[in-house]
Amino acid sequence: AQKVTQAQTEISVVEKEDVTLDCVYETRDTTYYLFWYKQPPSGELVFLIRRNSFDEQNEISGRYSWNFQKSTSSFNFTITASQVVDSAVYFCALSGGGTSYGKLTFGQGTILTVHP
């Protein structure tokens, strides 16, 4: 069975602070993909990043960066110099093989509030 855990239910920061959202996953698959999605207050789900299990290189996109560590089964997401517009629910998700083939298993989500 696959599982994604986002232990931080809610995080509150002040604008310009850096913030890291944790994601820990469990899977028996050797090949799998990890994702982050953002759900702003307007409610839609916005795709942010996809990472495959064979690529442990960290990725940076503007103020966003992702740290994938297979040894600790973690795929953490850092926002540098946070802005009010970053306020949203962030979901980590896992796509694997076997009976989970083709479906996303989501974590519980982390509510990020950035105060001005």
Q: Which residues bind other proteins (CB under 8 A)?
A: 29, 31-33, 35, 37, 39, 43-47, 50, 52, 89, 91, 93, 95-97, 100-104, 106, 108-109
CB atoms within 10 A of CB 101: 9
Six-digit token string for 22: 């944790």
Q: Select 103 or 115, whichever has its Cβ closest to other proteins.
A: 103
Find out whether 1 and 48 touch, Cβ atoms under 8 Å. no
- One-character DSSP codes across 12-76: EEETT--EEE--EEE-S-SS-EEEEEEE-TT---EEEEEEETT----EEETTEEEEEEGGGTEEE
Q: Select 43 or 62, whichever has its Cβ closest to other proteins.
A: 43
Minimum separation from the CB atom of position 29 to other proteins (A)? 8
Minimum separation from the CB atom of position 68 to other proteins (A)? 16
Q: Select 33 or 64, whichever has its Cβ closest to other proteins.
A: 33
Minimum separation from the CB atom of position 81 to other proteins (A)? 26
Q: Select 17 or 104, whichever has its Cβ closest to other proteins.
A: 104
